[in-house]
A and B are shown apart, each in its own frame.
Chain A
Amino acid sequence: MRRSAACFGRTSTVAVVLGAVVALGAGCVPASPDANTYRDAASQSIGTAVSELATIEEMLRLLASDDIMRPAVVTQLRYSEDGLEKSTQWFTGLNPPTGSDGFGKRVGTLLQRGGNLLTEARIAVHRGQVDRYTRIADDLKTLGDHLDKVEGRLS
């Protein structure tokens, strides 16, 4: 499964316990990648974002129609926000190679927008603002579709 390829946070704790195998599993990429590796890193981060955004979008819609319990959504938001943030931080921390025509910056911006939307979702769920769920879900869908298009242009 595609995992947010961050080298920090929970993956480093894992590396301590599971050793070298997991360090390799974290899929670390050098901080100054070449063009291909950078494109792969962008793809990976977009994939993570799409997955988290779609998950929360789906859960918000279910919450709006009272088809899911709030604790489950709260729990998932915790993971999704955290996972997307780590992925965003990792990707924006990479040095884009020369001639990458700035797509890295565009991707970074989109990832950050995704993080903000998830935060908005978390606040709305915590406050029980049912009327906002569908709107946030629609925003998540729009952003997700946009990210899909960007990824399509990358490959």
Chain B
Amino acid sequence: MKKYLGVALGILTAIGGFVDIGDLVTNAAVGARFGLSLAWVVVVGVIGIIVFAEMSGRVVAVSGRATFDIVRERLGPRMGLVNLFGSMAVTLLTFVAEIGGVALSLELATSVWEYLWVPVVVAVVWIVLWRVKFALIENAFGLLGLALVVFAVALWQLQPDWGHLWHQAAGVEKPHAEEWSTYAYFAVALFGAAMTPYEVFFFSSGGVEEEWDAASIPIMRANVFIGFPLGGLLSLSIAAVATATLLPAGIDVQTLGQVGLPVAMALGKLGLAVAILGFFAATFGAAAETGLSVGYSISQYFGWQWGKYVTPVQAARFHLVVLLSCVLAAMVLLTTIDPVLVTEASVVFSSVALPLTYLPILMVANDPGYMGEHRNRGLSNALGTVYLVLVVVASVAALPLMVWTKMGTS
């Protein structure tokens, strides 16, 4: 019985923890502008993150080596350092966006100006990363994040034309008024939002934190194969409610309030309150994950002791990096930069950084010395290769599209 509860907890945490500020903003914005004609990208992205999370989870369960250990081993110190800079820059950018997201959620709930919340949020995030146990962070924010199910409830309540929505999603019908270049840009952005590199760093490092071994693989797979698709459905709900309510009204999503507006329209005050709780949980949880991921990446590259499974005294450099990241994030946000704009940039740069992370994982997952009998079989390799090609295409296309479409504004 206890074991089933444990598995259920893992799955629920995976669902609730799937969505972050990038998913919230990008899905709502795309839904309000393109309808569900880009839904296929969410599906492709979710399958991709499932493939690579499972692979990196399997690697860490069998070998005890987390992703950045492998990146340095397989790419060498020089390319590994380039990779480190790139991945860390994107993860830090995402960290800034998530902290901004927490501040925006609090602003939405209280109307207190977001930038007044920033120092408070940064301080609390840092304290959580300093003192709170890993499992508690994961479970608490993962479960609270389930509040975002309110978007699925709101969609049901709105009773949209299901046939029309399905037709749009399956038919990949780009709206007349939009250009193919903008469509492609948002496809890359959605892809990056679903397949953020930090997910893989965090997932594999979490395997060490939670002391996975080969026997943990089935449970890990349950979390990934069941939890992630359901999390993906949440993303699609966020897009669909925006399509049902904001698209006809000509409303573009640029604030968190507009992300939550459909829920208020469908379910009133209670619905919006639950949605704001969901925003808070999703962004705070993701802030913790990205903050830790910055520390994990650097520590794993240099070989430092890292992790929340030891006391801070035993992992001083790791905690120093986390502390500095928090300070840096606060400084960036206090320039009164718009967190939504930072989020938009972070998902696109995530797409750019993806191949650097995925190539080493794919190779190590095949290495018999590392994996023994758990190495990749036909299906994992087939999917892994297809996605490697996809991430390279997205990575190469991302920056030119960003410049060409002026970040989607044209």
Are B407 and A10 in contact (CB-based, < 8 A)? Answer: no
Are B258 and A55 in contact (CB-based, < 8 A)? Answer: yes
Contact indicator per residue, chain A 1-20, by CB within 8 Å of chain B (1) or not (0): 11101000010011011100
Tell me which of A10, A44, A58 has the highest count of chain B C-beta atoms within 10 A of its own C-beta: A58
Residue from the list A13, A18, A144 in contact with B336, Cβ < 8 A = A13
Residues of A within 8 A of B335 (CB): 13, 16-17
Residues of B within 8 A of A14 (CB): 337-338, 341
Are A55 and B251 in contact (CB-based, < 8 A)? Answer: yes
Contact indicator per residue, chain B 95-127, by CB within 8 Å of chain A (1) or not (0): 000000000000111110100000000000000
- A window 53-71: CB within 8 A of B: 54-55, 58-59, 62, 66-71
Are A27 and B406 in contact (CB-based, < 8 A)? Answer: yes
> Distance (Å) between the CB of A81 and the closest chain B CB?
12
Are A83 and B250 in contact (CB-based, < 8 A)? Answer: no
Residues of A within 8 A of B254 (CB): 1, 3, 51, 79, 83
Task: Provide the main secondary structure of the chain B interface.
Answer: helix
Given contacts A21-B403, A27-B406, A72-B257, contact A54 B251 (CB under 8 A): yes
Q: Is B59 an interface residue (CB 8 A)?
A: no
Are B272 and A58 in contact (CB-based, < 8 A)? Answer: no
Are A51 and B250 in contact (CB-based, < 8 A)? Answer: yes
Are A1 and B29 in contact (CB-based, < 8 A)? Answer: yes
Q: Is A139 an interface residue (CB 8 A)?
A: no
Given contacts A25-B402, A59-B261, contact A67 B250 (CB under 8 A): no
> Distance (Å) between the CB of A152 and the closest chain B CB?
12
> Distance (Å) between the CB of A66 and the closest chain B CB?
7
Are A74 and B406 in contact (CB-based, < 8 A)? Answer: no
Q: Is B332 an interface residue (CB 8 A)?
A: yes
Interface residues on A, range: 35 or more
Q: Is A150 an interface residue (CB 8 A)?
A: no
- A window 68-121: CB within 8 A of B: 68-72, 74-76, 78-79, 83
Are B249 and A58 in contact (CB-based, < 8 A)? Answer: yes
Residues of A within 8 A of B321 (CB): none
Are B410 and A24 in contact (CB-based, < 8 A)? Answer: no
Residues of B within 8 A of A62 (CB): 264-265, 268
Q: In whole angstroms, how far apart are the Cα atoms of A47 and B345 in the complex?
A: 22
Q: Is A22 an interface residue (CB 8 A)?
A: yes
Residues of B within 8 A of A16 (CB): 335
Closest to B258 in A: A55
Are B257 and A75 in contact (CB-based, < 8 A)? Answer: yes
Tell me which of B257, B258, B276 has the highest count of chain A C-beta atoms within 10 A of its own C-beta: B257
Are B29 and A10 in contact (CB-based, < 8 A)? Answer: no
Q: Is A130 an interface residue (CB 8 A)?
A: no
Q: Is B137 an interface residue (CB 8 A)?
A: no
Q: In whole angstroms, how far apart are the Cα atoms of A27 and B107 in the complex?
A: 28
Are A47 and B409 in contact (CB-based, < 8 A)? Answer: no
Contact indicator per residue, chain B 14-34, by CB within 8 Å of chain A (1) or not (0): 000000000000000100110
Q: Is B253 an interface residue (CB 8 A)?
A: yes
Are B264 and A68 in contact (CB-based, < 8 A)? Answer: yes
Residues of A within 8 A of B258 (CB): 55, 76
Q: Is B408 an interface residue (CB 8 A)?
A: yes
Q: In whole angstroms, how far apart are the Cα atoms of A62 and B337 in the complex?
A: 30
Are A51 and B111 in contact (CB-based, < 8 A)? Answer: no
Given contacts A67-B269, A76-B255, A79-B257, contact A2 B111 (CB under 8 A): no
Residues of A within 8 A of B367 (CB): none
- A residues lining the B interface (CB < 8 Å): 1-3, 5, 10, 13-14, 16-18, 21-22, 24-27, 44, 47-48, 50-51, 54-55, 58-59, 62, 66-72, 74-76, 78-79, 83, 144, 148
- B residues lining the A interface (CB < 8 Å): 29, 32-33, 107-111, 113, 249-255, 257-258, 260-261, 264-265, 268-269, 272-273, 276, 332, 335-338, 341-342, 345, 399, 402-403, 406-410
What are 29 sample pairs from A and B whose C-beta atoms fall under 8 A apart?
A: A1-B32, A1-B33, A13-B335, A14-B337, A14-B338, A17-B337, A18-B337, A18-B342, A21-B345, A21-B402, A25-B402, A25-B407, A44-B409, A51-B252, A58-B261, A58-B265, A59-B261, A62-B265, A66-B268, A66-B269, A67-B269, A68-B264, A68-B268, A68-B272, A71-B108, A72-B109, A75-B255, A76-B255, A79-B254
Q: Which 6 A-B pairs have the closest CB atoms?
A: A25-B407, A71-B111, A67-B268, A76-B257, A74-B111, A51-B252
